[in-house]
Amino acid sequence: MQQTEAIASSPTQHLPLSQRAPFRAVQRALFYLMMVALALIFAGPLLWMLSTSLKTDPQVYTVPPIWIPNPIRLVNYPEALSSRPFEIYTYNTLRYALGAVAGALISNTLVAYGFARIRWPGRDIFFIICLSTMMIPFQVRMIPLYLTFKNLGWLNTYLPLIVPTFLGVNAYYTFLLRQFFLTIPSELSDAARVDGCTELGILIRIILPLAKPALAVIGLIQFMFAWDNYIGPLIYLNSEALYPIALGLQQFRTMFQEELMWPYMMAASTAATAPVIILYFFVQRTFVEGISITGLKG
């Protein structure tokens, strides 16, 4: 009785309901409950993919669904991946993705330097034109590009997917790098200029070493884009020997048909997804920082 009185007269009594201790504890518990539920929903499809990829056939077709396969059938992976030349798809993807990464890094470094570190008449107008190209849908350029590449004899090669990256066509990367270059104090370049350093020398010796994080972000985004890109390879490549994973996965699908071989299909999908996720874990911090530099102060 006395205790109740003590609590009743305690100072918390005067606080609004939402700030009293028991209420807050309940609130926190509900909050965590909601977070866990949301996390399970968001991770659900990926867990379902992984789970199915390790199942034996009868376990795939059960109602209600089984989440933890028993037995775990690891052999689904080699069986699925060897039914099509998955290693060639991977090699093709890497070949074209790395080419595109090199192109994006080299061209956008030069272009962004021209937009950020040299003052020249007309610069701002050119930069605005460059930025406004982000609004142009790919579909408007798609048909003439296809016809041009066809006339050049570039169809069924990786050139249509790589050459444009060497010409700084992606304004998003230019913008990102320019923003980063602007944050580097101009005194550094001025001092080098006084010492007789050329602009290219300043770019290579002073700016590039400082810009490594931004370059990493662009390289990574370009790599992931190339890994993910479907419509580009779909239009430009028609021989299976050149297919990247994006097109290769469809080959698996036509092979495994609907309904019949879900564990194989999910094994192939997991194999296509895993490298990107593993890469993400290695460079997570850089990646998240990079996305946040671009979207802000706009």
Partner 1 sequence: MSQQWTPAQTRSLLKGLAFISPWLVGFAGFVLYPIAASAYYSLTRYDVLRPARFIGLENYVELFVKDETFRTVLGNTVYLVVVGVPAGLVAAFLLASLLNRKMKLRPLFRTIFFLPVLVPAVASAEVWRWVYNTNYGVINSVIKSWGWAVIPFISSMELAKPSLILIHVWAQGTAIVIFLAALQDVPSSLMDAAEVDGANALQRFWHVTVPICTPAILFVMLTGMIGMFQYFTLGWLLTQGGPNESTEFFSLYLYRNAFQFFKMGYASAQAWILFIIILAFTLLIFRSSARWVYYAGESD
For residue 104, what are its two tokens? 């994006």
CB of residue 241 to partner 1, shortest distance in Å: 19
Q: Does 260 bind partner 1 (CB under 8 A)?
A: no
Contact in structure between 105 and 180 (CB atoms under 8 Å): no
Cα(108)–Cα(165) distance, rounded to whole angstroms?
9
Shortest spacing between CB 13 and partner 1, in angstroms: 19
78: its two tokens: 């080699």
Q: Which region among 2-10, 70-78, 183-191, 275-283 touches partner 1 (by CB under 8 A)?
A: 275-283
231, 216, 272, 235: which is closest to 49 by C-alpha?
272
Nearest approach in angstroms of CB 174 to partner 1 is: 7
Among 25, 37, 43, 260, binds partner 1 (CB under 8 A): 43
Q: What are phi and psi of 189, to 5 degrees?
A: -70, -40
Residue 69 in tokens: 């396969």
Told to check if 33 binds partner 1 by CB under 8 A, we report no
Residues in contact with 148: Cβ distance below 8 Å, sequence separation at least 6, in sequence order: none
Task: Kindly write down the DSSP assignment for every residue of 85-141, as one continuous string.
Answer: THHHHHHHHHHHHHHHHHHHHHHHHHHHHHHHT---TTHHHHHHHHHHGGGS-HHHH
| Binding region for partner 1 (CB under 8 A) out of 58-66, 79-87, 180-188, 204-212 | 58-66
153 near partner 1, rule: CB under 8 A: no
Under the binding rule (CB under 8 A), the answer on residue 79 touching partner 1 is: no
Q: Which of 29, 33, 46, 72 binds partner 1 (CB under 8 A)?
A: 46
Q: Considering the complex, state which of residue 44 and residue 78 has its C-beta at the smaller distance from partner 1.
A: 44
Interface with partner 1 in residues 199-228 (CB under 8 A) = 199, 224, 227-228
Task: Give the one residue of 7, 29, 230, 241 binding partner 1; rule: CB under 8 A.
Answer: 230
